[in-house]
């Protein structure tokens, strides 16, 4: 059959396109991996293990465990030979529990997001999260969320520092600084810089742990506060607002940026790091999907466009407003007081 006839036959078929079906069923493979991460399957497999050995280690049913392991093999996440399972190079490195690159703690955040995303239909009907849990809560969810943010920020922070430039700055405020990855990177780039990291009380012990490990406790101080309402301070040369604006609605963002303007010294800069949508909000895809992530998880958060960020910054009194594009899904918006 010619290519044209095959194409015509495909168009005439009453079946859904295979690519569409695979996308619709994509949750199945995602859930398999998330369950593997949640149960710590990859560490349990170790160098080599049978299904019954894995089940004994993690306290699960042997039959069901073998079914899960077989699916992971089918997906290329494990290998199997004569009933013995082994990790791949990738899963051993990132989920095996022995590598410095281990990312299981960070990937527990997507595990927790599963429950939120299952409410998407109800959220679209209601216009907001129906299972709201916006802030960290001092539990496993907090640890996983901050671990996920740290895993991403640690790799990205040096690029942000290079793009922003920190020479000559003496005081910096890291608003909602989370794990402290950005505070650490900025302080490492400028030995005279002193940083304040503002975040909720339950987050600060995690940040303090990373700060002390980096040997920067003398120059990075943590401060408990609510970025929506508490005073930010005065006289900062740089204020970083990373992965914060998407958690807030437009009015809260306007308010935050006004307070950032007041907290900066003359010629000081605010640096927003976040997903930035096109004007019609349909691209990039990751940013458009992330808007839904905010719908299912926050009261009125979303992803925003360059025009929106620019408008809020100018409205707050900032000048020389510009966008700085970086590799990856998140870019920067910078304004000068």
Q: Is 308 part of a structural domain of the chain? A: yes
Whether residues 180 and 296 share a domain: the answer is yes
CB 150 within 8 Å of CB 136: no
Rounded Cα distance, 240 and 223, in Å: 15
The pLDDT of 73-85, averaged and rounded, is: 98
Q: Identify the sign of the CA torsion 275, 106, 256, 300.
A: positive
| Residues 6+ positions from 29 with CB-CB distance below 8 Å | 75
Q: Are 146 and 180 in contact (CB under 8 A)?
A: no
In a domain, 105, yes or no: no
Question: Does residue 170 fall inside a structural domain?
Answer: yes
Strand spans (E) along the chain:
78-81, 84-87, 171-175, 194-199, 220-224, 236-242, 264-277, 304-305, 319-324, 330-336
Is 222 a residue whose pLDDT tops 90? yes
Please report which confidence band the pLDDT of residue 4 belongs to, taking 50, 70 and 90 as the band edges.
low
User: Are 50 and 177 contained in the same domain?
Assistant: no
Residues 141 and 56 in one domain: no
pLDDT of residue 151: 87
CA gap 70, 76 in Å, rounded: 10
Q: Which tens digit of pLDDT belongs to each residue from 239-257?
A: 999 999 999 999 999 999 9
* Segment 128-178, tens digit of pLDDT: 999 855 444 446 778 888 888 888 888 899 999 999 999 999 999 999 999
pLDDT in the model for residue 137: 46
Residue 319: which of 270, 280, 246 has the closest Cα? 270
Mean pLDDT over 65-75 rounds to 98
Mean pLDDT, rounded, for 117-136: 84
In a domain, 4, yes or no: no
Answer for the pair 183, 220: CB distance below 8 angstroms, yes or no. Answer: yes
pLDDT at 97 over 90: yes
Domain count, the chain: 2
Q: How many CB atoms lie within 10 A of CB 8?
A: 12
CA distance 61 to 78: 19
Show which of 57, 80, 97 is a domain's final residue.
97
Q: Could you tell me if 320 and 254 are in contact, meaning their C-beta atoms sit under 8 angstroms apart?
A: no
CATH number of residue 158's parent domain: 3.40.50.150
Domain's final residue, options 33, 64, 97 = 97
Buried b (16+ CB within 10 A) or exposed e, 275-290: bbbeeeeeeeeebeeb
In CATH, what number is assigned to the domain containing residue 87? 1.10.10.10
**Residue that finishes a domain, picked among 53, 82, 97:** 97
164 shares a domain with 303: yes
pLDDT value at 76 more than 70: yes
Q: What is the pLDDT of residues 23-63, one digit of tens each?
A: 999 999 999 999 999 999 999 999 999 999 999 999 999 99
So what's the pLDDT on residue 154? 86
Residue with tokens 């691209």: 283
Residues 64 and 128 in one domain: no
Mean residue pLDDT of the chain comes to: 93
The 10 Å CB-count burial string (b at 16+, else e) for 234-259 is eebbbbbbbbbbbbbbeebbbbbbeb
Q: Can you tell me whether residue 67 is helix, strand or coil? A: helix
Q: Tens digit of pLDDT for each residue in 253-280?
A: 999 999 999 999 999 999 999 999 999 9
Q: Are residues 187 and 90 in the same domain?
A: no
Residue 108 inside a domain? The answer is no
- Same structural domain, 260 and 144: yes
Question: For the segment 311-332, what is each residue's pLDDT rounded down to a tens digit?
Answer: 999 999 999 999 999 998 899 9
- Top pLDDT among 285 and 151 is at 285
Give the Cα separation of 36 and 335 in Å (integer).
44
Mean pLDDT computed over 228-232? 94
In a domain, 232, yes or no: yes
**Please, which pLDDT band fits residue 5 given cuts at 50, 70 and 90?**
low
Q: Does residue 217 share a domain with residue 296?
A: yes
Statement to judge: residues 178 and 228 lie in one domain: yes
Q: Are residues 198 and 319 in the same domain?
A: yes
Distance of CA 116 to the CA centre of its chain: 15
Contact 117, 291 (CB under 8 A): no
Round to whole Å and give the CA distance between 156 and 329. 11
> Would 270 be classed as within a structural domain?
yes
pLDDT at 8: 63
Cα-based distances in Å from 293 to 47, 64, 124, 239, 300: 36, 31, 12, 26, 11
Residues in contact with 76: Cβ distance below 8 Å, sequence separation at least 6, in sequence order = 88
- The boundaries of the domain holding residue 292 are 122-336
Structural domain contains residue 106: no
pTM of the entire predicted model? 0.89
Q: Kindly give the pairing relationship between strand 330-336 and strand 319-324.
A: antiparallel
DSSP string, 211-241: HHHTT-TTTEEEEE--TTTS---S-EEEEEE
Contact 301, 246 (CB under 8 A): yes
Residues 80 and 170 in one domain: no
Residues 77 and 158 in one domain: no
């Amino acid at each position: 059959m010619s290519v044209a006839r095959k194409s015509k036959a495909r168009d005439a078929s009453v079946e859904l396109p295979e690519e569409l079906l695979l996308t619709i069923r994509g949750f199945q493979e995602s859930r398999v991996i998330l369950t593997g991460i949640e149960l710590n399957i990859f560490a349990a497999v170790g160098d080599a293990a049978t299904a019954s050995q894995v089940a004994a280690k993690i306290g699960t049913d042997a039959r069901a465990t073998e079914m899960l392991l077989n699916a992971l093999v089918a997906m290329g996440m494990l290998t199997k030979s004569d009933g013995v399972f082994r990790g791949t190079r990738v899963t051993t490195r990132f989920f095996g529990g022995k590598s410095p690159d281990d990312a299981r703690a960070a990937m527990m955040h997507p595990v927790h997001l599963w429950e939120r995303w299952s409410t998407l239909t109800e959220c679209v009907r209601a216009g907001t999260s129906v299972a709201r849990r916006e802030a960290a809560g001092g539990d496993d969810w907090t640890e996983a969320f901050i671990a996920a943010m740290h895993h991403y920020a640690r790799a990205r922070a040096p690029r942000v520092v290079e793009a922003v430039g920190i020479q000559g700055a003496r005081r910096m405020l890291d608003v909602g600084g989370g794990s402290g990855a950005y505070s650490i990177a900025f302080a490492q780039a400028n030995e005279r810089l002193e940083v304040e990291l503002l975040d909720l009380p339950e987050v600060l012990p995690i940040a303090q742990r990373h700060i002390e490990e980096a040997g920067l406790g003398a120059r990075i101080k943590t401060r408990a506060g609510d970025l929506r309402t508490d005073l930010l301070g005065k006289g900062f040369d740089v204020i970083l607002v990373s992965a914060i604006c998407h958690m807030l609605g437009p009015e809260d963002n306007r308010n935050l940026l006004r307070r950032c303007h007041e907290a900066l010294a003359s010629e000081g800069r605010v640096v927003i790091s976040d997903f930035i949508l096109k004007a019609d909000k349909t691209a990039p895809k990751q940013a458009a999907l992330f808007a839904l992530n905010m719908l299912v998880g926050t009261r009125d958060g979303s992803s925003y466009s360059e025009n929106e960020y620019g408008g809020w910054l100018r409205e707050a009194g900032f000048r020389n407003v510009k966008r700085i594009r970086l590799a990856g899904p998140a870019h920067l918006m910078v304004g000068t007081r």
